[in-house]
Chains A and B, each alone.
Chain A
Amino acid sequence: MKPRILFSYLLLILIAIACIYPALWTILSSFREGNSLFSDTIIPKKWTLDHYRDLFVERTDRAIPYATWYLNTLKVAVASMVLGTLIQLLTAYAFSRFRFKGRKSMLMIVLILGMFPGFLSLIAIFTILNTLNLLDSLWALILVYSAGAALGMFVAKGFFDTIPRSLEEAARIDGASHMKIFVSIILPLSRPIITYISLTTFAGAWVDFIFARAILRTPENWTLAVGLWNIIDAYNSTEFTLFAAGCVLVAIPITLLFMYTQRFLVDGLTAGASKG
Chain B
Amino acid sequence: MKQNSVAAGWLSVLCAGLGQWYNKQYSKGLLFVLIHATGVYLISTTLLTKIKGLITLGDQGQHLEKVGKIFKNVPGDHSIFMMIYGVLSVIIVALYIVFYILNIRDAVAVGRKRDSGSAVKGLNNDIFPWALLALPIIGVLFFTIMPIVFTSLLAFTNYASPNHIPPKNLVDWVGFDTFHKLFNMNVWADTFTGVLTWTIIWAVLATVTCYFGGILVALLINQQGIKLKGFWRMLFIIPYAIPQFVSLLIMRNMLNEKFGPINQYFRYFGLEGLPWLNDPFWAKVSVIVVNMWIGIPVSMVLVMGILTTIPKDLYEAADVDGASAWMKFRNITMPYVLFATAPILITQFAGNINSFNVIFLLTSGNPATMKYNNAGQTDLLVTWLYKLTLDFNQYNIAATVAILLFLIIAVMSVLLYSRTRSFKEEDMIQ
Q: Which residues of A contact B (CB under 8 A)?
A: 2, 4-5, 8-9, 11-12, 15-16, 18-20, 22-23, 25-26, 36-39, 42, 86-88, 90-91, 93-94, 97-98, 100, 107-108, 111-113, 115-128, 131-132, 143-144, 146-151, 158, 161-162, 164-165, 178, 203, 206-207, 209-210, 213-214, 225, 228-229, 232-233, 237, 240, 243-244, 247, 250-251, 254-255, 258-259, 262, 265-266, 269-270, 272-276
Contact = CB atoms under 8 A, between A and B. Distances in A.
Contacts of B430: 161, 164-165
Contacts of B306: 270
A122 B251 CA distance: 27
A210 B356 contact: yes
A132 B416 CA distance: 38
Given A22-B250, A123-B402, A209-B357, A16 B142 contact: no
Contacts of B305: 266, 269-270
How extensive is the interface on chain B, given as a class?
35 or more
B385 interface: yes
A121 B136 contact: no
Contacts, number: 266
Interface of B: 78, 80-81, 84, 124, 126, 128-130, 132-133, 135-137, 139-140, 142-148, 150-151, 154, 159, 166, 217, 220-221, 223, 225-226, 232, 235-247, 249-254, 256, 258-261, 264, 293, 297-298, 301-302, 305-306, 340-341, 343-344, 347, 350, 354, 356-357, 360-361, 364, 382, 385-386, 389-390, 395, 398-399, 402, 405-406, 409-410, 412-414, 416-417, 420-423, 426, 429-430
B226 A119 contact: no
Contacts of A149: 136, 139
Contacts of A126: 389-390
B79 to A, nearest CB: 10
Contact of A147 (B144, B389, B398): B144
A213 B146 CA distance: 21
B136 A87 contact: yes
B132 A229 contact: no
Contacts of A117: 354, 356, 382, 409
Q: Is the interface of A mostly helix, strand, loop or mixed?
A: helix
A5 B228 CA distance: 13
Given A121-B144, A127-B395, A165-B430, 19 more contacts: A16-B232, A25-B250, A26-B250, A37-B256, A87-B139, A90-B135, A94-B129, A100-B126, A100-B129, A116-B144, A117-B382, A124-B151, A146-B139, A147-B139, A158-B422, A209-B360, A255-B242, A255-B243, A270-B306
A228 B344 contact: no
A48 to B, nearest CB: 19
Given A36-B259, A87-B139, A90-B133, A207 B244 contact: yes
Contacts of B398: 123
Given A15-B236, A151-B144, A229-B361, A37 B416 contact: no
Contacts of A9: 226
Given A121-B148, A147-B140, A147-B143, A209 B395 contact: no
Contacts of B225: 2, 5, 8
Contact of B80 (A131, A203, A244, A275): A131
A162 B148 CA distance: 34
Contact of B246 (A93, A108, A251): A251
B302 A266 contact: yes
Contacts of A143: 143
A124 B236 contact: no
A128 B147 contact: yes
Nearest to B347: A272
Contacts of B154: 123-124, 127
